[in-house]
Amino acid sequence: MNVQIIDRIEQLRTCVTTSLRLGRTVGLVPTMGALHAGHISLIDQAVGDCELVIVSLFVNPTQFNKQNDFEGYPRTREEDLLVCEQQGVDVVFAPSVKEMYTGSEQTIVDVSYLTDHLCGLARPGHFRGVSTVVAKLLNITRADFVYFGEKDAQQLAVVRRMVEDLNIPTQIVAVPTVREADGLALSSRNQHLTDEDRKVAVVIYNALVVAKDAIVSGEKNAAVVLRIAREKLQEQPLARVEYFEIVDAVDMQPVEVIRASVRAVTAVWVGGTRLIDNVLCCPNE
């Protein structure tokens, strides 16, 4: 393989230092592996922008609320390495948990306010884990650009706030959500869906679309939009809604009156799989 596989922090730092001395632009695509077309869109963007592209493959234990969820997260290392090779990635950073966490840490990164609801409410501590590991990866790689998908809009908002508040000199690049032909957002968790679950899951995107259509058509009352969307979700009784909200497009706070761009955001359980998705909605689009 032409792609370099690194599992030690100091080795990666040496690699990055050499590239920076040569004036090469560094791009980072943080992932937990189980790469799919959504990840590939991030990698392709990074390869087009940067001269040294690093993809991290690290299932981060600190962002999981349940041990069985962490243990059950799909791990497809060999397939992931092949994807990185085919897409022109320069370095794969695949550290062990012990390499990233010594067990004696006393510091965490906790972004408040943005994480008080939605996935932050449903998964206490999740975003502390995300923020902390992303901060570590940015410090290790000194990336000029870091790439995130828009599918996890709250995560994107949290990382943006963290980078701004901590004066981290990395530019965040948001890449549009990649979807199946029927609209289902690509996710590593989709592989847990049974054939029947897969049919049910389409209702998630359909509900987001009816919400967006209502807003684009001029509906300003968020409660009305939510009612329309929830009625769509009820067409599939096997879809269990954790939340469906209309939130500010920047700070992810719920709104009552829609005056500017907002996001319709949702988390839905289909079988034993939790799926999240969102769409940007612009009034009078």
The answer to whether 192 is a known catalytic residue is no
Q: Element (H or E) spanning 239, and its range?
A: strand 239-248
> Per the structure block, which two tokens stand in for 161?
């706030």
For residue 183, is it left (φ>0), alpha (ψ between -120 and 50) or beta?
left
Which of 36, 39, 117, 192 is the catalytic position?
39
* Helices of type H across the chain: 9-21, 37-49, 67-72, 77-86, 97-100, 119-122, 126-141, 153-165, 195-216, 222-233
Q: Are 47 and 87 in contact (CB under 8 A)?
A: yes
Q: Are 239 and 233 in contact (CB under 8 A)?
A: yes
Task: Please give the C-alpha separations between residue 181 and each of 74, 154, 178, 200, in angstroms, as whole numbers.
Answer: 23, 24, 10, 15
Cβ burial 83-101 (10 Å sphere, 16+ → b, else e): bbeebebbbbbbbeeeebb
> Per the structure block, which two tokens stand in for 203?
């209702």
Catalytic residues: 39
